[in-house]
Amino acid sequence: MQCYRLTFTAPFHVDSRGNHYYEESNSFIHSDTLSAAIIATWAMIDPEQAQQKAQQPGFQLSSAFPFYQDCYFLPRSLNSQAITLTDDRLQEAKKLKKIQWLDSSLWKYAFNQTSWVDKLTICQEVLATSQQALPKRLWLEEERPRLAMERANNHAAESQLFNFSRIWFHEEGGLYFLAKFDSESDQKQFEMLLSLLADSGIGADRSNGNGCFTWKPGKNPGLQWATNETAVALSLVNPAPADCHTGWLENSAYKLVSRGGWIGNTGKRRQRLRMFAEGSVFAQPLQGRMVDVTGEYTEHKMRGFFVKAG
Euclidean distance between CA atoms 182 and 200, whole angstroms: 26
- Whole-number Å distance between alpha carbons of 113 and 132: 22
The domain locations on the chain are 2-222
**pLDDT greater at residue 252 or residue 156:** 252
The pLDDT value given to residue 97:
79
Cite the DSSP H helix spans in the chain. Answer: 31-45, 50-55, 93-98, 104-111, 184-200
Residue-wise pLDDT tens digits, 196-237: 999 999 988 788 788 999 999 999 888 888 877 888 999 999
- Supply the DSSP symbol for 139: E
Residue 171: band (very low, low, confident or very high) from pLDDT cuts 50, 70, 90: very high
d(CA 278, CA 151): 35
Say how many CA atoms lie within 13 Å of 75 toward its Cβ.
27
Residue 15, pLDDT above cutoff 70: yes
pLDDT at 299: 44
- When the pLDDT of each residue in the chain is averaged and rounded to a whole number, the result is 81
108 to 105, 112, 192, 250, 308: CA distances (angstroms): 6, 6, 33, 22, 10
At residue 152, the pLDDT reads 60
The pLDDT, as a whole number, for residue 203 is 84
pLDDT tens for 253-298 read: 889 988 876 665 556 666 778 889 999 999 888 888 777 776 554 4
DSSP secondary structure letter of residue 79:
G
What is the phi/psi pair of residue 161, to 5°?
-90, 145
* Residue 262 pLDDT: 62
| pLDDT tens-place string over residues 57-89 | 889 899 999 999 999 999 988 887 766 666 766
Name the more confident of 17 and 63. 63
Are 177 and 2 in contact, with CB atoms under 8 Å apart? no
